[in-house]
Chain A
Amino acid sequence: MLTYLLRRLNLLILTTLVLLGLLYFASLNMPGDPLTTLSGIPHPSEQQRADLTETYRLEHGHIQGYLAFVGQRLSGNFGLSQASGIPVSQELMQVLPATIELSVLAVLLSLIVGIPLGILAASRRGPLPKILWTGTLLGFSVPIFWLGLLLMLTFGLEWDLLPPSGRLNLLYDIPQVTGFLLIDIPLSDASWRGAALQDAVNHLILPTLALATLPCTIVIRTIRAAMLAEMDKNYIRALTARGVHHWSLILHHALPNSLAPMLRTLSLQLGQLISGAIVVEMIFTWPGIGNWLLSAQYQGDHTSLTGGILVVSLSIIVTAIALEIAQALLNPINRKEIHG
Chain B
Amino acid sequence: MANTSLYHEDKIPSPWHQIWRHYQSRPSAVVGLWALLLVVFLSLFGPLIAPFSAEQQATEHLLAPPSWFADGSVDYFLGTDALGRDLLSRLLHGAHLTFGYAALIVWVALCLGFVIGTLSGASKGLQSSVLGHLLDALLSLPSLLLALLFAAVLGPGAHNVFWAVGLALLPGFVRVVHNAIHEEMQKEYVMAARLDGASRWQLLRYVIWPNITDPVVVHTTLAFSTAILDIAVLGFLSLGTQAPSPEWGSMVREGTNNVLSAPWTVTMPGLAILFSVLATNLVGDGLRQAIAEERG
B273 within 8 A of A: yes
Listed stretches B16-24, B64-72, B210-218, B256-264; interface member: B256-264
List A contacts of B252 (CB < 8 A).
143, 145-146, 149
A108 within 8 A of B: no
A 294-308 contacts with B by CB, 8 A: 294, 297, 300, 302, 305-306
| Distance to closest chain B CB from A219 (angstroms) | 17
B 108-160 contacts with A by CB, 8 A: 129, 133-134, 136-137, 139-145, 148-149, 151-153, 155
Contact with B along A292-335 (1 / 0, CB 8 A): 01100100101001100100110011001000000000000000
Report the interface size for chain A: residues with CB under 8 A from the other chain: 46
B207 within 8 A of A: no
**Bound CA span A300–B140, Å:** 24
Contact with A along B27-51 (1 / 0, CB 8 A): 0000000000000000000000000
B80 within 8 A of A: no
| Distance to closest chain A CB from B203 (angstroms) | 21
B281 within 8 A of A: yes
**Bound CA span A149–B256, Å:** 8
Q: Is the CB of B145 within 8 A of A312?
A: yes
**Bound CA span A14–B132, Å:** 13
Q: Is the CB of A11 within 8 A of B136?
A: yes
Take A149-B252, A271-B142, A279-B144 as given contacts and tell me if A141 and B129 are in contact as well, using a CB distance cutoff of 8 Å.
no
Q: Is the CB of B266 within 8 A of A275?
A: no
B 240-296 contacts with A by CB, 8 A: 249, 252, 256, 259-260, 263, 266-267, 270, 273-274, 277-278, 280-282, 285
Q: Is the CB of B263 within 8 A of A153?
A: yes
A90 within 8 A of B: no
| Distance to closest chain A CB from B230 (angstroms) | 8
Q: Is the CB of B277 within 8 A of A141?
A: yes
A157 within 8 A of B: yes
List A contacts of B145 (CB < 8 A).
274-275, 309, 312-313
B180 within 8 A of A: no
Q: Is the CB of A279 within 8 A of B237?
A: yes
**Bound CA span A150–B270, Å:** 10
Q: Is the CB of A274 within 8 A of B148?
A: no
| Distance to closest chain B CB from A78 (angstroms) | 15
List A contacts of B140 (CB < 8 A).
15, 19, 270-271, 313, 316-317, 320
Contact with A along B186-227 (1 / 0, CB 8 A): 000000000000000000000000000000000000000110
Output the nearest chain A residue to B279 by Cβ-Cβ distance. Answer: A141
List B contacts of A244 (CB < 8 A).
none
Q: Which of A31, A157, A282, A309 contacts B148 (CB 8 A)?
A: A309
| Distance to closest chain A CB from B30 (angstroms) | 15
The interface residues of chain B, by DSSP majority, are classed as helix
Q: Is the CB of B270 within 8 A of A146?
A: yes
Take A145-B236, A275-B144 as given contacts and tell me if A297 and B278 are in contact as well, using a CB distance cutoff of 8 Å.
no
Take A15-B137, A19-B141 as given contacts and tell me if A309 and B277 are in contact as well, using a CB distance cutoff of 8 Å.
no
Which of B168, B236, B278 lies at the interface centre, i.e. has the most chain A CB atoms within 10 A of its CB?
A: B236
Output the nearest chain A residue to B280 by Cβ-Cβ distance. Answer: A141
List B contacts of A238 (CB < 8 A).
none
Q: Is the CB of B273 within 8 A of A149?
A: no
Q: Is the CB of A143 within 8 A of B129?
A: no
Q: Is the CB of B148 within 8 A of A145?
A: no
**Bound CA span A294–B285, Å:** 34
A180 within 8 A of B: no
Q: Which of A19, A141, A143, A150 contacts B249 (CB 8 A)?
A: A143
Listed stretches A22-30, A43-51, A181-189; interface member: A22-30
Q: Is the CB of A137 within 8 A of B278?
A: yes
**Bound CA span A19–B134, Å:** 11
List A contacts of B233 (CB < 8 A).
143-145, 275, 279
| Distance to closest chain A CB from B37 (angstroms) | 17
B88 within 8 A of A: no
**Bound CA span A23–B148, Å:** 12
Q: Which of B139, B143, B259, B278 contacts A153 (CB 8 A)?
A: B259
List A contacts of B274 (CB < 8 A).
141-143, 146
**Bound CA span A177–B237, Å:** 32
Which of A26, A143, A157, A317 lies at the interface centre, i.e. has the most chain B CB atoms within 10 A of its CB?
A: A143
**Bound CA span A274–B155, Å:** 23
List B contacts of A317 (CB < 8 A).
140
Contact with A along B151-188 (1 / 0, CB 8 A): 11101000000000000100000000000000000000
List B contacts of A22 (CB < 8 A).
137, 149
Q: Which 5 A-B pairs have the closest CB atoms?
A: A271-B142, A146-B270, A18-B137, A141-B277, A275-B144
Interface of B toward A, CB cutoff 8 Å: 129, 133-134, 136-137, 139-145, 148-149, 151-153, 155, 168, 225-226, 229-230, 232-233, 236-237, 239, 249, 252, 256, 259-260, 263, 266-267, 270, 273-274, 277-278, 280-282, 285
